Amino acid sequence: MIELQSERIPIKVFFAIWPDLHVKTQLSRLTGNLEHLCGGYRTNSLKLHLTLVFLGNILTKQLAYVQEIASQIKLPCFSLTIDTIEYWKHNKIVYAGITDTPVELIKLVSQLHHDLQLAGFKLEQRSYIPHLTLIRNATCQQLPKLTTPIHWNIKEWMLIQSTPTKTGTVYSQLSSWKLIEK
């Protein structure tokens, strides 16, 4: 078999959940207020997401294998509640967080992590903290409390390619998988 040059091109990919329009609208509204308080710059509403597993650079020829691994995962739909606003001082990020992480989300992340490592992919070894980055390059002395929690029904997850450009990073959906309706 002849390996094409294009099969050896690295691409940066990650698994994520993208918010629906209702959740995205609420997060965008919240982000405007936070940007005023903390400075920095807001995440474009089209780029808001909850990362599941970051693979980083893989070869294009590995893409089908990654998609096959993901397609074997069968888990039910679930919901989560975004109920906190936090600040990571070390990397100047304001994010929307989840106090009570659903078991289904933990299972999805754990199974992806396990199956990808078993297949030989090298992944970051750190605790999973579900969050959605709202503001980058922020400096916050004090954050407001999130008075109205944001409820989010999760029905699918996806594989995303991250491509740096002169005007910022472009996210492209490569694949998606439906969760099983209960």
For the chain, domain boundaries = 9-178
The pLDDT of residue 33 is 83
Contact predicate 78/107, CB 8 Å: no
CATH number among 3.90.1140.10, 3.30.70.100, 3.40.630.30, 1.10.10.10, domain 9-178: 3.90.1140.10
Which distant-in-sequence residues (6+ apart) come within 8 Å of 53 by Cβ?
14, 15, 109, 112, 113, 116, 123
Q: How far apart are CA 122 and CA 55, in angstroms?
A: 8
The pLDDT of residue 32 is 83
The pLDDT of residue 4 is 45
Question: Tokens for 105?
Answer: 């989300």
The pLDDT of residue 126 is 83
List of the chain residues with pLDDT < 70: 1-7
Residue 10 exposed, middle or buried by CB count within 10 Å (0-12, 13-18, 19+): exposed
The pLDDT of residue 6 is 58
Of the candidates 139, 131, 145, the one whose C-alpha atom is nearest the C-alpha of residue 51 is 131
The pLDDT of residue 7 is 61
